[in-house]
Structure 1
Amino acid sequence: MFTDWAEALEAESLPLEPTSAQQLAAAARVTARTAHDKHDMTLLLDVLGLPTDTDTLTALLPLIPETGDAPMTTIPAAPAIDVPVVPLPVTSQVQELLDWASAHPAAAVRNRAVRITADLAELTERRDTEAAQREAEQKVAKARAELERAQEELRTVKASTRTTAAATVSTPIRAGAGSGRSREELAAIRAWARENGHQVADAGMVRRAVLEAFDAAHQAPVRKAG
């Protein structure tokens, strides 16, 4: 906006309140540099509330650009700053204001629009990131709850299986089952059978014929009636 940075810095460094004669003079000089001619400068000074007396105008005339020079208000705009365009969660009024500020001839206004746009984009990204994080945490919590339920069901099934298995375990079969004899009795029967010419295995079932022969040989003799 300024061609004379010394003048710009001087105006920027002045205190805003109260408005001093030095401030008014600096503002008048800057205004004169943007005017087409004396009449245009007078109008600009009047609109801005700056002095338009003859002495002030005479002092400012040398600052008006020469005829043919483009006034400051018509110089080409500064190159646009490369800022990624992102969808912003703003109302149409705010978006229109940002568009207006982005096209403003003043670099300070354009830069502010860029900063606001970047801040909105950062806030939007942070909001989306936090929303995605909350959604992921909810999914994890739900998965953990389902896993705990499944583990509890598995423990219940295992406990039920053990109880059923314990209830259905049959009583161990005694050696020599089917004959109703103990192992000691069977051992004695096998020894007697071998002594009396019977063939028996060292283990397993003893043939019924051998059992009957053993029983018959060991029955008490029946006493005959006198």
Structure 2
Amino acid sequence: MFTDMKQALAAEDLDLTPPGSDQSAAAALVAARHARDKDDLADLLGALGLPCAENDLVRLLPNLTTSVGDSMTVTAFTATAASMLKNGDSPEHVRTTLGLSEAELTEATRHADLPTTVPAPDTDDTTNTPETAAQAAEDTVGSDGIEDLLAWAGNHPAASIRHKAARVRSVLTELTERRTADATQREAEERVAKAKAELEAAQAQLRAVKTGGHAAAAAQDAPEAAPAPRAGRRSKAELAAIRAWARARGHQVADRGTPAKAVLDAYDAAHRTRDLAEAS
């Protein structure tokens, strides 16, 4: 209880409204910038009555500052980048991995006691080829493998790194599905080509069978060949019959001897026609 009336009146004028979320976030950010490490940050947040759960600490860790000399301070991201540069990682790899801007990379390079000029990408066509790019990517990943790198990035406290890991996983999934689809398409095309070849062979065999059947039927249905003209000497009786046949049809023939060849051919042709008619 106040014994001084002035103190009591001043206490009544104090604003006791709890701070809003924006004010709490701003206060937590200021506390993080003045904290030395994670434990110190937890103590400061607790003393100020601000949320200090593990998730809150992880979210604020990138804003911690580390003293460097008497006047310079560096964020946790810059300190991490400087450490990676000192360990031999390339500036481009550090920038890509941590999602740094050019200014942040330059700051990290200065704290790592390295030349501040970031080497420009090599534009020589003889070295900047897909093969060398693939080899560089493989060297960057190292022995841990892509999956280990993505797992590390997926659990990174920085949202930008987690987003990059998610994008990379999405691209890898898309490429895997595309490769599977292409392989399936090639297999289907090979099966179609094989089926077409088998169909063409079967059609050729069917045509051969049909052609053979038609030839046999045609040979079976063909009329017998007409008897060839008679050769050799004819008997006297046949010659007499030929002369009688010729006179009956207006031909002039002698009473003896062999009639003319034209008469003999006409006689043979007439008798062949008669024989065919009788056979049918």
TM-score range, shorter chain: 0.3 to 0.5
Of Structure 1 and Structure 2, the greater helix share is in 2
When the two structures are superposed, what TM-score results if normalisation uses the length of structure 2? 0.34
